[in-house]
């Protein structure tokens, strides 16, 4: 069973046309089964899942989610604080790979990372281990 944050297959064509393919396909897919023992003994290095952005599939660990959550929060605050154009692209680096994203795509990326982080922690706390 696939555990997805954004479920891109369920996004209507109206929103897909409005926001573009990158926004529509941005997603985080969890591992099929996250080891309870691995998360319990070394949670920071536990493989959580795969971030899918701009055609890239990037494997993420728990510590990556924490780190990128903080950095994307700062980036999105700066972008919206400076009132940049809707069409202006910004380079976003994720684990050594750079993608060019516009502000609404960066906002969704930030939201996706934060949701993945929250779901990972809650699943462990509840004993679900995804």
Residue extents of the structural domains in the chain: 8-126
Angle at 103 between CA 48 and CA 19, to 5 degrees: 85
Phi-psi region at 64: left, alpha or beta (left = phi > 0; alpha = psi -120 to 50): alpha
**DSSP structural state of residue 44:** G
Q: Distance between CA 121 and CA 124 in Å, rounded?
A: 5
Q: Distance between CA 118 and CA 43 in Å, rounded?
A: 14
- What is this structure's pTM? 0.87
pLDDT digits (tens), the chain, 130 positions: 568 888 888 888 998 899 999 989 999 998 877 766 777 778 788 888 999 999 999 999 999 999 999 999 999 888 888 888 888 999 999 999 999 999 999 999 999 999 999 988 887 777 665 5
């Amino acid at each position: 069973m696939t555990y997805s944050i954004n479920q891109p297959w369920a996004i209507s064509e109206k929103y897909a046309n409005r926001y573009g393919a990158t926004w529509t396909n941005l997603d985080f897919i969890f591992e099929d089964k996250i080891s309870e023992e691995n998360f319990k003994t070394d949670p920071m290095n536990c493989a959580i899942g795969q971030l899918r952005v701009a055609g890239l599939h990037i494997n993420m660990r728990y510590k990556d989610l924490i780190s990128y959550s903080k950095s994307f929060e700062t980036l999105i605050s700066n972008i919206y604080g400076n009132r940049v154009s809707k069409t202006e692209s910004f380079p976003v680096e994720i684990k050594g790979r750079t993608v060019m994203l516009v502000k609404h795509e960066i906002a969704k990326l930030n939201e996706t990372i934060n949701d993945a982080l929250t779901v990972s922690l809650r699943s462990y706390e509840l004993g679900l281990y995804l």
